[in-house]
Amino acid sequence: MSIKLENVSYQYRDSKRRPALSHVTLEIKKGEFIGIAGHTGSGKSTLIQHFNGLIRPTGGTVLFDGENIHEQGYSLKELRGKVGLSFQYPEHQLFEVTVFEDVCFGPKNLGLPQDEIQKRAKQALELVGMDEKYYEKSPFELSGGQKRRVAIAGILAMEPEYFILDEPTAGLDPVGRDRILQLLKRLHEEKGITIILVTHSMEEIADYVDRILVMEQGRLRFDDTPSEVFQHKDELEQMGLSVPFYSSLIDELRQNGYFSEDSEVSAITLQEAKQAILENWKRDQQS
Amino acid sequence: MKMVQIKDLVYRYFRRDDDDNIIETIEAIAGVNMDVEKGQFIAILGHNGSGKSSLAKHINGLLQPAEGAVYVKGMNTSSEEEIWRIRQSAGIVLQNPDNQIIGNIVEEDVAFGPENIGIPTQDIWTRVAESLEAVGMEAFRLSSPNRLSGGQKQRVAIAGILAMEPECIILDEPTAMLDPKGREDVIKTVHRLNKEKGITIILITHKMDEVVDADKLFVMDHGKVVMSGTPREVFSDVEKMKEHRLEVPHAAELAYELREEGIPLPEMIMTKKELVKALCQLS
């Protein structure tokens, strides 16, 4: 069970520039929580639109559960029910009169019976933490964070197996951001939904994902666990990406002799950095 | 001299039903006092819905107070005669670059403001050239704005304001929709305008790393100013910032947690460099 790209390239029509994607090979297995990072223009948005067949590659193949999705007779409509995609600022696409109707739109399009549509919409709204009192409100009366959660519910109501989100936290304040990330974590852990998160902030995803794909100029530069990827501090910085604050702090502490040169201390999160520094301090106190 | 003076400002908006009856009154600003000196770089922080954007829109008269008053260089924003002079002195840059650019080519867009206030043609072109240079966008003078990145568009929007030769620029979450490189370019540009041209800056944001160099911070919540002071003063109170749904810079937060565990770190650590130095001095 996976989404698999084999040697995928994509060239935008009438563009004389380099291809938007060049020879990308990767596999996303069901149940993973993946981050895709890259600078603006690195190809990450083009990449994710291949995952549910919105873009047809100009070279290579895209396989879903082993089947070529661009083979004749393959139902892309069905695929898009399984692979949900939330674009940047998804709340700009809310359009129905009420919150509830907006969330019903997706499952309605899948041709489900009325009671199933309503059941799914209710479940999805419950998942994103939108109370029943909001059902009959206009989406435009909600706050930015709420609108975004309603837009996400609209995709969840299709019950996707894979959920791709392009910059889901852009423009939200810290509380709104943490709420969305916690929600994705819950969807992953409790519902087993595969989450694919596009971002340009490594910081933000470091706590959550098991694996990071880094795109640069249409190529897949890194495909590894966060701690492995963050070892490449200089290369990431050259790509306009920054490693998480705590990783580079530990790095600088080592360079300044706070940790010994050969110590294998590393950290991605606040808690890990705190632990590492505390242990070092306690050792110093004893000696 | 005071660039901006805000006195007992209250602003409300109303929700109405289909028959236009008021069903709810929301106090977006609930009694704010604030002074900004000429040449200062100040930042207003607050989570979404805290009232910070409403406050920004009062400074150049886009919104009118329900109670209290706002003065720009001593001019009352409620005065119809003064409003154009106020908007010339205090320009505003908004969050979404795409909503602010109107010209087909960059220079046309930047020229729009001065043209509107009747500046002679020759002077307009001088101003356009100078403004684009100040934001580092002179190479794009003849480009189409559609082809620019978000950060570049935002700098063109700033150039458009600069061409009006304002004494104060208000920026309402100018980097919220930008990538890290775009953010950095915009924030650097704003700092340069403050230092080199002495333009008063009022930056509204919830990104803490953008404000560590500000002269003064104001934290808003529920329509009120709940904290104010230098960045060091404000960020040393990690718990209070969290109460107001804000974060502090990473270094300040880690230093705070380490202090709680008994490591004698000095207060007022804000940057990575300061934290590294303080830790190395301990060992």
| A61-83 residue pLDDT tens | 999 999 999 999 999 999 999 99
User: Are A234 and A253 members of one domain?
Assistant: no
User: Are A101 and A146 members of one domain?
Assistant: yes
Q: Say if residue A14's pLDDT is above 90.
A: no
In this prediction, residues B190-207 reach a mean pLDDT of 93
Predicted structure pTM score: 0.84
A window 21-40, beta carbon within 8 A of B = 39-40
Give the residue among A19, A80, A77 at the shortest CA–CA distance from A217: A19
In this prediction, residues A117-127 reach a mean pLDDT of 94
Q: Is residue A120 part of a domain?
A: yes
In chain B, DSSP finds a helix count (H) and a strand count (E) of: 10, 10
Contacts A253 to B, Cβ<8 Å: 276, 279-280
Q: Which domain holds residue A146?
A: 31-51+75-241
User: Are A226 and A164 members of one domain?
Assistant: yes
Q: Say if residue B30's pLDDT is above 90.
A: yes
Q: Is residue A123 part of a domain?
A: yes
Q: Is residue A57 part of a domain?
A: no
- B251 and A273 within 8 Å at the Cβ level: the answer is no
Between CA A29 and CA A38, with CA A33 as vertex, the angle to 5 degrees is: 100
Maximum distance among all Cα pairs of chain A, rounded to whole angstroms: 72
Q: How many domains does chain A have?
A: 2
The chain B residue lying nearest A239, using CA atoms, is B181
Per-residue pLDDT, B23: 82
Contacts A248 to B, Cβ<8 Å: 272
Q: Which of A174, A176, A258 sits opposite B246 (nearest CB)?
A: A174
In this prediction, residues A39-58 reach a mean pLDDT of 92
Helix/strand/coil for B244:
coil
User: Are A154 and A254 members of one domain?
Assistant: no
In this prediction, residues A204-208 reach a mean pLDDT of 84
B170 exposed, middle or buried (CB, 10 Å; 0-12, 13-18, 19+)?
A: buried
Q: Which of A40, A171, A253 sits opposite B176 (nearest CB)?
A: A171
User: Are A89 and A179 members of one domain?
Assistant: yes
Per-residue pLDDT, B151: 85
Q: Is residue B236 part of a domain?
A: yes
Q: Which domain holds residue B201?
A: 2-248
Q: Which of A39, A143, A170 sits opposite B49 (nearest CB)?
A: A143
Mutate one of A146, A148, A169, A173 to test the B interface: name it (highest B CB count within 10 A). A173
- B258 and A278 within 8 Å at the Cβ level: the answer is yes
Per-residue pLDDT, B116: 87
Q: Say if residue B259's pLDDT is above 90.
A: yes
CA atoms of A254 and A262, how far apart (whole Å):
9
Per-residue pLDDT, A176: 84
Per-residue pLDDT, A285: 85
Q: Which of B48, B253, B275 sits opposite A173 (nearest CB)?
A: B48
Per-residue pLDDT, A193: 96
Q: Which of A173, A242, A257 sits opposite B245 (nearest CB)?
A: A173
Q: Say if residue A210's pLDDT is above 90.
A: yes
Helix/strand/coil for B59:
helix
Per-residue pLDDT, A177: 87
Q: How many domains does chain B have?
A: 1
CA atoms of A128 and B83, how far apart (whole Å):
45
**How close B120 comes to chain A (CA, Å)?**
39
Q: Are B87 and B165 in contact (CB under 8 A)?
A: no
Q: Say if residue B194's pLDDT is above 90.
A: yes
User: Are A90 and A201 members of one domain?
Assistant: yes
Q: Is residue B263 part of a domain?
A: no
Per-residue pLDDT, A15: 65
Give the residue among B30, B29, B25, B5 at the shortest CA–CA distance from B15: B25
Domain edge (last residue) among A205, A222, A241? A241
- B149 and A40 within 8 Å at the Cβ level: the answer is yes
| B137-166 residue pLDDT tens | 999 999 998 888 888 899 999 999 999 999
Q: Is residue B162 part of a domain?
A: yes
User: Are A235 and A194 members of one domain?
Assistant: yes
In this prediction, residues B5-29 reach a mean pLDDT of 88
Per-residue pLDDT, B146: 85
Contacts B173 to A, Cβ<8 Å: 171
User: Are A123 and A263 members of one domain?
Assistant: no
Confidence of residue A145 (pLDDT cuts 50, 70, 90): confident
Q: Is residue B145 part of a domain?
A: yes
Per-residue pLDDT, B148: 85
Q: Which of A171, A176, A200 sits opposite B179 (nearest CB)?
A: A200
Confidence of residue B206 (pLDDT cuts 50, 70, 90): confident
CATH classification of the domain holding B26 = 3.40.50.300
Q: Is residue B274 part of a domain?
A: no
Helix/strand/coil for B262:
coil
User: Are A137 and A273 members of one domain?
Assistant: no
Average pLDDT of chain B is 91
User: Are A146 and A47 members of one domain?
Assistant: yes
Q: Say if residue B17's pLDDT is above 80.
A: no
Helix-strand-coil percent breakdown of chain A, rounded to 5? 45, 20, 35
The chain A residue lying nearest B253, using CA atoms, is A270
Q: How far apart are the first and last CA of chain B?
A: 47
Q: Are A153 and A145 in contact (CB under 8 A)?
A: no
Q: Is residue B271 part of a domain?
A: no
Confidence of residue B282 (pLDDT cuts 50, 70, 90): confident
Give the residue among A114, A100, A199 at the shortest CA–CA distance from A154: A100
Between CA B179 and CA B186, with CA B185 as vertex, the angle to 5 degrees is: 90
The chain B residue lying nearest A248, using CA atoms, is B272
Per-residue pLDDT, A246: 92
User: Are A204 and A127 members of one domain?
Assistant: yes
Per-residue pLDDT, B41: 97
Per-residue pLDDT, B193: 92
Inter-helix orientation angle A144-156/A174-191, to 10°: 20
Confidence of residue B168 (pLDDT cuts 50, 70, 90): very high
In this prediction, residues B169-185 reach a mean pLDDT of 86
In this prediction, residues A25-37 reach a mean pLDDT of 96
Question: CB contact, 8 Å: A97 with chain B?
Answer: no
User: Are A250 and A168 members of one domain?
Assistant: no
Strand residue runs (E) in chain A: 2-10, 21-29, 33-38, 59-64, 67-68, 83-86, 162-166, 194-199, 211-216, 219-224
